[in-house]
Each structure stands twice: as C-alpha cells, then as structure tokens.
Structure 1
C-alpha cells in the first residue's frame, strides 16, 4: 500500500463566454466569494471578484505520494472543471500549483528569535 500525502492545490482560470444569467448569479454572490472565502477544502472554495475575469479554486487533495504533485493538480483541475460545468460557468486556461503539505518544511527559527519565552 502506498503512502498518502495531503496536497493543497490552487486552480486558476479565466471566465469565458458567461451568459447573462451566469453573470447575474456570480455578481449576486460576489461578497461570499472574495478574500474571506479563501480556504482549502476537499470540495474546493471558489474565489473571484466583481470584474468576473479570473477565478481560483482552492482544494485539499489526498493522493498517493508516488504520484506526486502532478496527480494532485490533475485531480483538482478535474474537480474544478466539473464544478464550473455544473454551475454553467464558461471558462478557459485552467492551470494549477500544488504543495505537498507532508514534505513542507516549517522554519521555526525566526519565530523563536521573536518570542523570548
């Protein structure tokens, strides 16, 4: 059995060919999808602004470590594409970046120097 790793993946894209109905729906919910909505979840959190040009999804993906960040990115992009199609939002140019949370190094040195406790 392969080791599972947890990845944080950001999928970015551009809205394309939005219908008037889709634009109205996005604008009606724009406040719920701003900076405060940026969190990594398995379902993905969609963020965008009132310009309705670019968007991003943030996902948590658990995948085999052997498959690496490329597979985690592919899984997240597939989830984003599926969600966008279900919402009826036109899009193009999906691209993603993934971070393996199990191999991420945390630098505690700077924090200790600032906290004399």
Structure 2
C-alpha cells in the first residue's frame, strides 16, 4: 500500500479578542502572513489582522489508506483548537476541508454527480 498525503485546512474566526491579544497577534503577523502560508505537519497559522478576523491553519499529514483522512482531519482540528485555547484566543466557526493529494481532483461535473449520488 502506498502512502497517502493529506492537506487539511482548518478555518475559523477570532471572536472577541481583547486589546492585548489583538496587539500580540498583530506584532506576530509577519510569521503568520497569508502570503507565506504553507502546509506543515505541525500546522501553519495564517491571518490578516486587524482587517479580517478569519484565520486558517494548514496541516500536512499522511496515511496508509483513503479512510485515514478522517482521523487526520480530526487530529488537525484538535491541534488548531488546542493552539488557540492554550493561548487564550477566543474563536468561533471552526471548520475543515481535507484533500488527498494522491487522488486526482474531480472536475466540476464529477463533483456535481458525486454530490447527487451521495
């Protein structure tokens, strides 16, 4: 069985940051710049404060089987939530998207057909 590579994006919104938290995040904005975002095993955080309250973590994982993407996504969501919680950053609307890079992307017509069957 060949290794599968998963890209997982976990997104959400900062919710009610106090002035100290906002100042801290803005001061560290260069290391979290959207233009330098990358998929990494530990997860890379990107945001564009103070203009937008949204953030995105990008994770790179691997697995042996197609169904491993579910567990990888769960781990990525937990890691993002833990990072935010440990630093006291309030957030809301956490959601994720996953892609198996070993699978060819579906064309628009194929995605529509798959959605109708499911």
**TM-score (norm: length of structure 1):** 0.77
Contact 1:6 1:61 in 2 (8 A): yes
* TM-aligned CA deviation for residue 98 of structure 1: 0.6
Q: What SS does the aligned partner of 2:7 have?
A: strand
Rg: which structure is higher? 1
CA displacement, residues 32-66 of structure 1 (integer Å, 9 cap, x when unaligned): 21223210001111000022410000001223425
SS at match of 1:58: strand
Instruction: Say how many residue pairs are matched.
Output: 104
Q: Give the match for residue 30 of structure 2.
A: 31
Aligned counterparts, 1:12-51, within 5 A: 12-50=11-49, 51=51
Using the alignment, how far apart are the partners of 2:61 and 2:29 within structure 1? 25
Matches within 5 A, 1:46-61: 46-50=45-49, 51-61=51-61
CA distance in 2, matches of 1:33, 1:71: 26
- The secondary structure found in structure 2 opposite 1:92 is strand
SS in 2 for 1:65: coil
Q: How does 1:64-79 map to 2 (within 5 A)?
A: 64-79=64-79
| Length-normalised TM-score, structure 2 | 0.76
Distance, in Å, in 2 between the alignment partners of 1:65 and 1:57 is: 23
**Residue 116 of structure 2 aligns with which residue?**
none
